[in-house]
Structure 1
Amino acid sequence: MEELKNLDMDAYAWLTKPGKPHRNWSRSHFSTHVKCHMLLNNMCESFNSFIFACRDKPILTMLEIVMCKLMRRIQGRMDKMKNLTKEICPKIFKKVDINKAKAGGCVTMWSGGGKFQVGSSGISQYIVDLDLRNCSCR
C-alpha cells in the first residue's frame, strides 16, 4: 500500500476510505474457485468448427445456415431433456454426487455464532463464517 501511496495518492485515498471491504478490491481476498470450466479459446475453436462449412458463403446465407444449425441443436437438446427422469441434467447431477461423497468425510463443529470448524479426514481444518460468508481456505 505504501508503494501505491507514493505512486497515486488519489487511488490510495479511495482504497483506504472507510466502508470499502478488502474483498472487493484486494487480489488476496478474491475467490480462487473456478466460475466457468471452459476457456475462451475452446469456445472460439468450437464456434469456428461449427460454422466451418458455411464460412465461404455470402453473409446472409451463412447466418441463415448458422441459425438453422442452432435451432436443430436446441431442439435436439430439448428432446434429450424431455426424456430425463431427474430434475437436473446428468452432468450437474454427477458433480453433486461427487461433492456429496466428499462432504461425507467432513466433520463440522459449531464454534459459536455463525462460525464453524470444518475438518476433512483429519488432515486439514478450516474456519467457516456463515455471517461473513467466508472460509479460511479462501
Structure 2
Amino acid sequence: MSDKQKGLINAVQKVFPHAEHRFCVRHLYQNFHKVHKGEQLKNDLWSIARSTNDIAYQKNMDQIKSHSEAAYKWVEKQAPRTWIKAFFNPFPKCDILLNNMSEVFNSYILEARELPVVSALDNMHIKLTNRIVSKQRESDKWTGRLCPKIQKKLDKFVEWAANCMVQEAGKGVFQVKSFNSTYLVDLNMNSCDCKRWELSGIPCHHVLACARHERIEPESLVHPYYTVESYKKAYAYNIMPLRDKGHWEKMHGIDVYPPL
C-alpha cells in the first residue's frame, strides 16, 4: 500500500509485478478534496472505499452521484481494486484502507535517517531488537488461542450476532436476516454475502449467528494468521548483537569516503 506517488507505482510494478498494489484512501481523499469540497462528499468517498460487496458499492456510488455528478465522474476514473474493499483480493486477509503502518515506521526511523549509513543501521538494529524482545515478552503472557485485539473484535461481533435471524438450508449453508437485509452464509466455503469474512479472515456477525446455531466455537472460525501461535512465530527470531568493531573481518575493499 502506498500514497499513489508515480515513482512508487512504477517501482512496485517492476520489483513486485505480481503483488496487489493498493492506495491509501487518506492520500486519495487529499487529491479528491482539491476539487470536490464539503463534508458530505468526504463521507460519500469513504463510504465507497468501505463497501465490502457489489451491492454496497453500487448504492454508495449512486449516493455520491446524487450529490455531485463531477465527484462521481472523478471517483469512476479511479481503479476500484486499488482502494475499494469490494474489489480487494481476499488472499492476504487484510482489508485496511490506510498506510498507517508505513507512516509509523517512517517516523520510527526518523532519527536514524539523518545519520551516516553505518550509524543509521546501528540505530535501527537497536530499535528493532528492543521491539522483538518486548513483543516476545508480551505474547508470553497471553492466554487463549487468539491475539487480544482480535479476541476483543470477535466478542463485539458475537454481541451483534444476537440481532440476526438464522434459517438453515442444509450442508453448512444458511440464510441470515440482519435488520432489513438478507445474507447467504456458507460455512464450508468460509463465505458470507457481506464479504467481510473473506476479506479480513475474521467472521462477521452473520457468520457468528450461524456458528451459534450450529454450536461451533467462534474462535475456530478465525484465520490462523490471528492466533497467538502465529504472532509468536513472527517474533520468534532474534537479531543477534554486533561484536565490537575490533572483531569485524577485514574485507580489503576500496575506501568509501563521505560526499564532498
TM range, normalised to the smaller chain?
Answer: 0.5 to 0.7
Tell me which of 174, 196, 200 is aligned to 1:116. Answer: 174
Does structure 1 residue 35 correspond to structure 2 residue 94? yes
Does structure 1 residue 62 correspond to structure 2 residue 120? yes
Report the alpha carbon displacement of residue 72 of structure 1 after superposing the two structures with TM: 0.2
Tell me which of 99, 103, 108 is aligned to 2:157. Answer: 99
Identical positions, percent: 35
Taking structure 1 as reference, are residues 137 and 44 closer, same or farther at Cα in structure 2, changes over 3 Å only?
closer
SS in 2 for 1:104: helix
Whole-angstrom CA distance in 2 between matches of 1:54 and 1:35: 29
SS in 2 for 1:72: helix
Instruction: State the match for 2:184 in structure 1.
Output: 127
Taking structure 1 as reference, are residues 113 and 36 closer, same or farther at Cα in structure 2, changes over 3 Å only?
closer
- With CA pairs under 8 Å and 6+ residues apart, which has the higher RCO, 1 or 2? 2
* Deviation beyond 6 Å, 4+ runs, structure 1: none
Taking structure 1 as reference, are residues 136 and 46 closer, same or farther at Cα in structure 2, changes over 3 Å only?
closer
How many pairs were matched up?
110
Report the alpha carbon displacement of residue 133 of structure 1 after superposing the two structures with TM: 5.6
Whole-angstrom CA distance in 2 between matches of 1:124 and 1:117: 10
Tell me which of 95, 103, 110 is aligned to 1:45. Answer: 103
Taking structure 1 as reference, are residues 57 and 82 closer, same or farther at Cα in structure 2, changes over 3 Å only?
same
Taking structure 1 as reference, are residues 44 and 136 closer, same or farther at Cα in structure 2, changes over 3 Å only?
closer
Report the alpha carbon displacement of residue 69 of structure 1 after superposing the two structures with TM: 0.4
Instruction: State the match for 1:12 in structure 2.
Output: none
Cα deviation, 1:22-78, whole Å, max 9, x if unaligned, reads xxxxx95986288233622x2232122111112121112211210110110111111
The structure that is strand-richer by fraction is 1
Task: Name the amino acid aligned to 1:70.
Answer: L
Taking structure 1 as reference, are residues 89 and 135 closer, same or farther at Cα in structure 2, changes over 3 Å only?
closer
Whole-angstrom CA distance in 2 between matches of 1:85 and 1:129: 30
| Structure 2 residue ranges without an equivalent (≥5) | 1-52, 56-80, 196-260
Does structure 1 residue 75 correspond to structure 2 residue 133? yes
Task: Name the amino acid aligned to 1:126.
Answer: Y
Whole-angstrom CA distance in 2 between matches of 1:134 and 1:65: 45
Report the alpha carbon displacement of residue 86 of structure 1 after superposing the two structures with TM: 3.2
Whole-angstrom CA distance in 1 between matches of 2:153 and 2:54: 28
Tell me which of 128, 132, 143 is aligned to 1:85. Answer: 143
Task: Name the amino acid aligned to 1:35.
Answer: C
Taking structure 1 as reference, are residues 92 and 133 closer, same or farther at Cα in structure 2, changes over 3 Å only?
closer
Give the alignment's Cα RMSD to 1 decimal: 3.1
Task: Name the amino acid aligned to 2:114.
Answer: D
